[in-house]
Amino acid sequence: MIGVGLSRSSGLLPLNAVRHPPVGQSNGWYVWRGGPAPQDDDFFSPVHVEHAKSHFPELMPYLALPPGIGVILAPGHEDVWHDEAFLEP
């Protein structure tokens, strides 16, 4: 499962994603569109990986990257980095 900020419009840019270590049924990915993700506990909704393609097809090539990765995508822009903070519980 991927945590997705579904309350934001699918047209908002950029697409943001960070990968934390997997826990339970979550693969650790959290994805949202637009500016910074709110800190609300209920902002992210679980979405099965099979349905991710319909929500953010441009992110599909990155989903195999390991925990600790952050991604920001927009037309003509790609930023991929590693951040140890994503690995902390």
- Predicted local confidence at residue 58, as pLDDT: 94
Task: Print the domain residue range for 38.
Answer: 2-87
Q: How confident is the model at residue 89 (pLDDT cuts 50, 70, 90)?
A: confident
> CB under 8 Å to 82, separation ≥6 — which residues?
68, 69, 70
- Predicted local confidence at residue 74, as pLDDT: 96
58-82: pLDDT as tens digits: 999 999 999 999 999 999 999 999 9
Q: Give the DSSP H or E segment for 51.
A: helix 49-55
Listing from the earlier edge strand, what are the strands of the sheet with 29-33? 45-47, 2-4, 29-33, 15-19, 69-74, 77-82
- What integer is the mean pLDDT of 80-85? 97
Q: Any bridge partners for residue 74, and if so which?
A: 77
Structural domain count of the chain: 1
2-60: pLDDT as tens digits: 999 998 888 899 999 999 999 999 999 999 999 998 888 899 999 999 998 898 999 99
